[in-house]
A and B are shown apart, each in its own frame.
Chain A
């Protein structure tokens, strides 16, 4: 296992090394630190083609190895074309008389020369067509989805074939499934209602966990560290929480003190309390999305910076040091990959637990806790 990660790190380091040298040979007067920074920035973003690695030949020409992905734009009608037309942002794509330019991983509509106009803050002011492209992240989501389908449907089948005993890779995942059921769903949602939420909790856990792990591979994907992904995931939890909310949940939201005091005493308190409760409704999923995004983003930045350090200190002491650090951090990142998936699932289950709580059960629970 460790051997594998050593290799993984080595390969990652090689890729970054290649691109760093490539840019150096282009003869631009940028220093290595800004190069690495730019590279990391680029890596953290989604891209329109699946680039595995790049190299530069003697003449200074950059070769990209990978495959293009379909670009789907909505710009007065559906425009579908291959991302190879952009040639990694070096050329303009002309489709149906419109010209598009790939600029900092985003597609802008430009004039025939590909001019980008900027505002005072150096932000492009060009029109941005709605971009539904199958990007690298979408491909990774798709691959993860297929992997999960294959893995878990074969686990499900192995039960039927093998007399209720898991076989193969499922043996590793079965305890995780049982852990999510017993220690996340049952303990937070309760015995009666946990079943309803189980498919969601399991899907979200393994989805985040697998994508986090993919993020650590040299494929250089950063799906769970993308804000659009975490927004979508948190939104699912938010919607599921509120759509399955019981009467008691809503009553608690708008009448948090209940029958503990007369209505006239509650009015002044509720001017403050109810907005806080409503704000909490939004803050809960917001914290979910920011936590996952920031953790994964930060992990990638730290790991890549440490690997990048190797190319800054080109000394016999600095490189092994940064290699060792990068190795240690990547081990921690594996833990973080699991931990973030766990936290997201755990908190989702907790919110579902709040939402599906009925009053009698709440009281019983309190008595049990005492």
Chain B
């Protein structure tokens, strides 16, 4: 795994604000290992009770889709309006469906 010039890895930090809500990406930080990354994340990202659970993931372990593949990947969904409930006409008398 590649390190930065300070010899510490970059970690992406995910915080769960409370049970029932998924972890959400909040930012990144430097740390020599996962355990210290969690300690640092606690100080940097949860000073005001923002979380009850922390995930740390080495940045270079994340594989991301490429921006220039955006069209190829996501455009096919754009013309499929029949995947949405509003495509179907239901009489008002039926109420919420």
Binding between chains A and B? no
Q: Which residues on B are within 8 Å of A, measured CB to CB?
A: none
